[in-house]
Every structure is written in C-alpha cells, then in structure tokens.
C-alpha cells in the first residue's frame, strides 16, 4: 500500500540512490546509539565505583529493592522488543497494517513499563528510599544504601526518559505505518525507530541484574 | 532491495531464548549467593541476551562493517571505562573515604 505522496521516498541531493540514502540513515542511527551507550557508560562506571566502596550496603539495597516490579518490566520490554522487530519483518513482507498493529502493541507495552515504574517509584517514595539528601529509609540507614538508591533513581530515571521518548516515536511510527508510509523498498525510518527501542531494551537488560538481582 | 538474513521465525526463537535467559538469571540471582560471582554470572547472561537482541532484533548481521565497528567501539570503551574505574577504586589504600559517619550525623548508623 505505497502512499502516492510518500515524502520518505524522496531522494536527497547528496545521494545517488534510495538504497544509499537508507543505508546512510541506518549508519547514522548506529553511531547515535553508540553515543547513547557512552552516556550510560558514565553511570555504569559510577555504579561500579560506589559498589566497590560499599559492597555490603549495595547488596542490602538490592535485597530491599522491588524485584517483582523490575522483573515484570524485564519481560514487558523483551516482549515489546519482539513486536518492534516483527514490525520490520512485516513491512519487508509488504504488510504495513500488520506492522502498524505490532508497533501499537510495542507502544502499549512501553506505556505499561512506565506505569509499573511509577508504582515502583511511589513505593520507594513511601519508604523514604529517595536520592541524595532526601534519603530517609529507616530500614537501611547507611551511607552505602543512600548511594545505592541515588544511583537507582538516576539510572532508572534516565532510562525511563528514554522509554517515554521511545513510546512517542513508536506511536508516531504506528500511525505512519497505518497510512502506508513504509514500504518494502523504503522503510529506513521505521528501522531506526525500532533500533532506538531495542537500545532501551538492552540498557534495561543490564540495569535489571545490577539494581534488582545480584 | 534488502539483503536480510533474519526472518520473523528467527526473531520468535530469539525471543524465547531471551525469556529463558531472563528466567535463568532470575533463578540464579534469587537462589544462589556466591558473593562476587553472582554479579559476574548475571552480567554474563545479560551479555548473551544483548548479543541476541543485536543479532536477531536489530539485524546487526545485515549491517555494513561501519555499523558493527560503531557498536564494537562503544562496547569496548564502556568495558574500558568500567573496568579501569573498578580497578582504581579496588586498589586504593584507603577506601571508602567516609564509611563511618560522625555520631552527630544522627540518621546514619554505620
């Protein structure tokens, strides 16, 4: 169902073919994702540093954390990633409406992730497991636990911001897929949007064991 | 136009493997307590899961060399940064700087 006024199929002056243009878009996205990894790298390094300094307190903080919420969110994000990947397969099989439904499912699961995260934050708020000088959790009255929950809020907060942006992007792509903007030949913008969503998934794959498991 | 090697059925199989690995990580993390080894095991499982996502969901297999290089450089820099930071902290003579707060600080007990 190619749209006759599909501006995505317009060839830029600097390209000699649509394929080159599509490949360039994807390469640009991969380089952007690499910079996103480096953004989180600083936080992972800070986490590793504090964990080395306050190992026992970090273990206590992890045991005190809300494992059920984090685990459900792990499965939610993995499922959403599958749907996003299948949407690319659907477009490549000339089934844009299927892709639209799959992207809609991805966005819904992303929203579910955020809703669960809000419940989790509310629980920490009630316990007093807040970042920095606002920390007043009576069950874990240690500097190390304070550091752990500061890292928890910063890392999951930054990740949640990425999820929020991702939900917006995926919703927008779902609408565009329904209107037939993505075709078998021209769908790099769909690919780069789903790449972003998969990166959000990959970051959570590492946050989950570090903040909830071990 | 697209030379793709990953089909939808591959993605579903990868998803099932990801679920299995997540469950394995959960079981090991909650049932076994091997002090420092448990984080190494769970991060190793996370690395395998990341490989599956990169290969079967993000189609890294179909990407040109430059894209793979971008990922490789980012992961290498991340590993360098984290490992050097940990090595630095672990080999300092006096760490942590302030593990025992002053009694006047009240709230903190250790």
Report whether pLDDT(A1) > 50: no
Instruction: Fill in the DSSP letter of residue B95.
Output: -
Q: What percent of chain B has pLDDT over 70?
A: 77
Are A153 and A145 in contact, with CB atoms under 8 Å apart? no
pLDDT-derived band of residue A14, with 50, 70 and 90 as boundaries?
confident
Q: Please tell me if residue B108 touches chain A, with a CB cutoff of 8 Å.
A: yes
Report whether pLDDT(B96) > 70: no
Report whether pLDDT(A206) > 70: yes
Q: What is the pLDDT of residue B110?
A: 53
pLDDT-derived band of residue A160, with 50, 70 and 90 as boundaries?
very high
Q: What percent of chain A has pLDDT over 70?
A: 96
Nearest beta carbon to residue B58 from set A195, A206, A213: A195
The alpha-helical segments, DSSP class H, found in A128-142 are: none
Nearest beta carbon to residue B74 from set A38, A67, A184: A38
pTM (predicted TM-score) = 0.89
Least confident stretch, A159-168, A179-188, B1-10, B55-64:
B1-10
Q: What is the pLDDT of residue B1?
A: 44
How far, in Å, CA of B30 to CA of A129, rounded?
A: 22
Report whether pLDDT(A9) > 90: no
SS3 B58: coil
CATH architecture of residue range(s) A15-213: Up-down Bundle (1.20)
Q: What is the pLDDT of residue A11?
A: 81
Instruction: Fill in the DSSP letter of residue B61.
Output: G
Lookup: tokens for B72: 């490789």
> B45 and A209 in contact by Cβ < 8 A?
yes
Q: What is the pLDDT of residue A101?
A: 97
How far, in Å, CA of B32 to CA of B47, rounded?
A: 19
End-to-end CA distance of chain A: 49
Q: What is the pLDDT of residue B102?
A: 54
Q: Mean pLDDT throughout A78-102?
A: 95
Least confident stretch, A62-71, B79-88, B97-106:
B97-106
Residue B69: closest CA among A27, A188, A39: A27
Q: What percent of chain A has pLDDT over 90?
A: 72
Lookup: tokens for A187: 């769908």
Lookup: tokens for A53: 């300094």
Q: What is the pLDDT of residue A4?
A: 45
Q: Please tell me if residue B46 touches chain A, with a CB cutoff of 8 Å.
A: yes
Q: How many CB atoms sit inside 10 A of residue A115's CB? A: 12
Kindly report the backbone phi and psi dihedral angles of residue A54, in degrees, each rounded to the nearest multiple of 5, phi listed first.
-125, 55
Question: CB within 8 A of A177, min separation 6: which ones?
Answer: A87, A91, A96, A97, A99, A100, A103, A190
Q: How many CB atoms sit inside 10 A of residue A31's CB? A: 16
Q: What is the pLDDT of residue A96?
A: 93
Nearest beta carbon to residue A81 from set B57, B63, B96: B57
Nearest beta carbon to residue B96 from set A34, A54, A89: A54
Report whether pLDDT(A32) > 60: yes
By CA distance, what is B97's nearest residue in A? A53
Kindly report the backbone phi and psi dihedral angles of residue B95, in degrees, each rounded to the nearest multiple of 5, phi listed first.
-145, 145
Q: Mean pLDDT throughout A105-131?
A: 96
Lookup: tokens for A139: 């069950």
pLDDT-derived band of residue A21, with 50, 70 and 90 as boundaries?
confident
pLDDT-derived band of residue B106, with 50, 70 and 90 as boundaries?
low
CA distance A17 to chain B (A): 12
Looking at every residue in chain A, the average pLDDT score rounds to: 91
Nearest beta carbon to residue A92 from set B4, B86, B99: B4
- Counting one residue from chain A and one from chain B, the pairs whose CB atoms sit within 8 A come to 159
Looking at every residue in chain B, the average pLDDT score rounds to: 82
Whole-angstrom CA distances from A71 to A68, B19, B25, B53 are 5, 11, 10, 18
> B86 and A52 in contact by Cβ < 8 A?
yes
Q: Mean pLDDT throughout B66-86?
A: 89
Find chain B residues with C-beta within 8 A of A27's C-beta: 63-64, 66-67, 70
Kindly report the backbone phi and psi dihedral angles of residue A162, in degrees, each rounded to the nearest multiple of 5, phi listed first.
-65, -40
Lookup: tokens for A13: 């002056």
Q: Please tell me if residue B24 touches chain A, with a CB cutoff of 8 Å.
A: no
ipTM of the modeled complex: 0.91
> A38 and B78 in contact by Cβ < 8 A?
yes
- B10-58 tens-digit pLDDT: 999 999 999 999 999 999 888 877 666 788 899 999 999 999 999 999 9
């Amino acid at each position: 169902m190619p749209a006759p006024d599909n501006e995505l199929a317009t060839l830029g002056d600097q390209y000699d073919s649509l394929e080159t243009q599509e490949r360039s878009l994807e390469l640009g996205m991969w380089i952007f994702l690499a910079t996103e990894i480096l953004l989180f790298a600083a936080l992972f390094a800070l986490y590793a540093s504090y964990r080395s300094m306050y190992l026992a307190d970090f273990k206590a903080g992890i045991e005190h954390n809300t494992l059920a919420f984090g685990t459900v969110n792990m499965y939610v994000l993995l499922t959403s990633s599958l749907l996003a990947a299948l949407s690319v397969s659907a477009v490549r099989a000339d089934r844009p409406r299927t892709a639209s439904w799959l992207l809609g499912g991805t966005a819904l699961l992303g929203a579910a992730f955020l809703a669960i995260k809000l419940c989790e934050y509310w629980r920490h708020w009630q316990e007093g497991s807040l970042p920095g000088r606002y920390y007043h959790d009576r069950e874990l009255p240690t500097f190390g636990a304070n550091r752990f929950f500061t890292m928890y809020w910063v890392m999951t907060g930054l990740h949640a911001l990425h999820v929020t942006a991702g939900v917006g992007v995926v919703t927008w792509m779902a609408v565009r897929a329904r209107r037939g903007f993505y075709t078998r030949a021209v769908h790099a913008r769909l690919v780069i949007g789903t790449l972003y969503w998969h990166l959000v998934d990959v970051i959570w794959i590492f946050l989950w064991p570090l903040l909830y498991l071990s | 136009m697209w030379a793709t090697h990953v089909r939808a059925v591959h993605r579903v199989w990868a998803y099932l493997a990801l679920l299995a690995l997540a469950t394995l990580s959960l079981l090991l993390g909650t049932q076994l307590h091997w002090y420092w080894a448990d984080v190494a095991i769970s991060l190793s499982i996370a690395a395998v899961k990341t490989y599956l996502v990169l290969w079967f969901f993000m189609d890294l297999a179909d990407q040109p060399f430059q894209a793979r290089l971008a990922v490789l450089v980012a992961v290498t820099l991340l590993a360098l940064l984290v490992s050097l930071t940990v090595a630095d902290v672990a080999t300092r003579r006096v760490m942590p700087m302030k593990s025992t707060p002053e009694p006047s600080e009240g709230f903190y007990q250790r």
